[in-house]
Amino acid sequence: QVHLVESGGGLVQAGGSLRLSCVASGRTLSNANMGWFRQAPGKEREFVATIRWSGGLTNYADSTKGRFTISRDNAKNTVYLQMNELKPEDTAVYYCAADSVYFPATDPNRYNYWGQGTQVTVSS
């Protein structure tokens, strides 16, 4: 079993930055593709970014491309999401997802494990 814990969310003004972290425990995920998703109130969970197990390939949603950066440190079993130039429409609960065999996996059903989420609120 894999346990994922996100952190780093909070309240930030538009144009600001946040860095989310997702620490995995239970087993190593160094050979697993990882992703970030988000869900705003009343909306479906949507893809944000994904990174291949080796860290060499990444893929982003059009809405986050150029502003967000996903990275990973396999030695620490941790995935990061650096979010810059934040907009009010980025406000959502952000979820870490793990262990997809697909890349790029933009469908949440392609992931086996999920964290509990961390709230990101961007004020205008």
* Average pLDDT estimate for 27-40: 90
Identity (one letter) of the amino acid at 54?
A: S
Distance separating the N- and C-terminal Cα atoms of the chain:
40
Q: What is the pLDDT of residue 15?
A: 98
Burial (0-12, 13-18, 19+ Cβ within 10 Å), 82: middle
Q: What is the mean pLDDT of residues 35-61?
A: 94
Residue 124 has pLDDT above 80, yes or no: yes
**What pLDDT is attached to residue 29?**
80
Pick the more confident residue, 25 or 92.
Answer: 92
**Given this model, what pLDDT does residue 4 score?**
96
Which pLDDT does position 97 carry in this prediction?
Answer: 97
How does DSSP classify residue 85? Answer: S
Of the candidates 45, 95, 48, 39, the residue with the CA atom closest to the CA atom of residue 67: 48
For 50, 56, 76, 77, 104, the CA distances from 61, given in Å and listed in that order, are 9, 17, 26, 24, 11
Closest by CA position to 87, among listed 61, 62, 123: 123
